[in-house]
Amino acid sequence: MRLREHVRSGLALRLVLCACVLGLLLWVANDGPISSAIQGAFARIVGGILNVFGEGALVTGNTVQTQLFGISVVTACTGLFLTGLFAAAVILFPARWRAKWIGLGLGIGGIFLLNVVRLVTLYYIGVHWPAVLDTVHRLVWQSLLIAFAVVLWLIWAGVWGRAPRREVAT
């Protein structure tokens, strides 16, 4: 395919947008104030949920602490990297822009919600089964999040990700 055909097919635009998304992701992940704000937001959400369950959680910065256990939310715990990869996969897929917005909404929202569930369950595992916390944290939940993102992308690509029709030149 020649460059002109790539430009017409939207591939060049998708590649530029993908590079911008990944560049933004790296900038956000490495920027102290933005990264700290995201970590703190996750900590406040998790602390609020734990308080609904009567845990008496106190949130300081990115740390959620109760009398029983505490967790710290670091950049790797925010799902930023997985969300960025999901967004890149949606942007690169040859679909209509409306479908891409649906995919981005599903991916960002779904990964965010599952990550909050992950952090809350890790707190309870730390309280009740501290011996398995590291294994569940590093192996089980990481694998589940990745599998979730892949399955979500496959569902999106199958349902909404239809490529726009092109006229065939005769």
User: CA 34 to CA 78: how far, in whole Å?
Assistant: 12
Handedness of CA 12, 14, 16, 18 (dihedral sign): negative
- Compute the distance between CA of residue 3 and CA of residue 7 in angstroms, rounded to an integer: 6
Give residue 165's pLDDT. 59
Q: Provide the pLDDT for residue 24.
A: 78
- For tokens 């933005």, the residue is 34
pLDDT per residue as tens, the chain (170 positions): 555 554 556 777 888 887 887 887 777 777 678 888 999 999 999 999 999 999 999 999 999 999 999 999 998 889 988 998 999 999 888 888 899 999 999 999 999 999 999 999 999 999 999 999 999 999 999 999 999 999 999 999 999 877 655 555 55
What is the rounded CA–CA span in Å between residue 44 and residue 34? 15
- Cβ 83 vs Cβ 107: under 8 Å: yes
Residue 120 to residues 24, 45, 109, 112: CA-CA distances in angstroms? 28, 10, 17, 13
For residue 11, the model assigns a pLDDT of 78
pLDDT in the model for residue 170: 54
- Residue 6 is predicted with a pLDDT of 47
Which pLDDT score is estimated for 23? 82
pLDDT given at position 166: 58
Q: Using alpha carbons, list the distances in angstroms from residue 113 to 46, 83, 90, 118.
A: 11, 12, 19, 9
- What pTM was estimated for this model as a whole? 0.84
- 116's tokens: 């909050």
CB 40 within 8 A of CB 30: no
Given a contact cutoff of 8 angstroms between Cβ atoms, the answer to whether 35 and 75 are in contact is yes
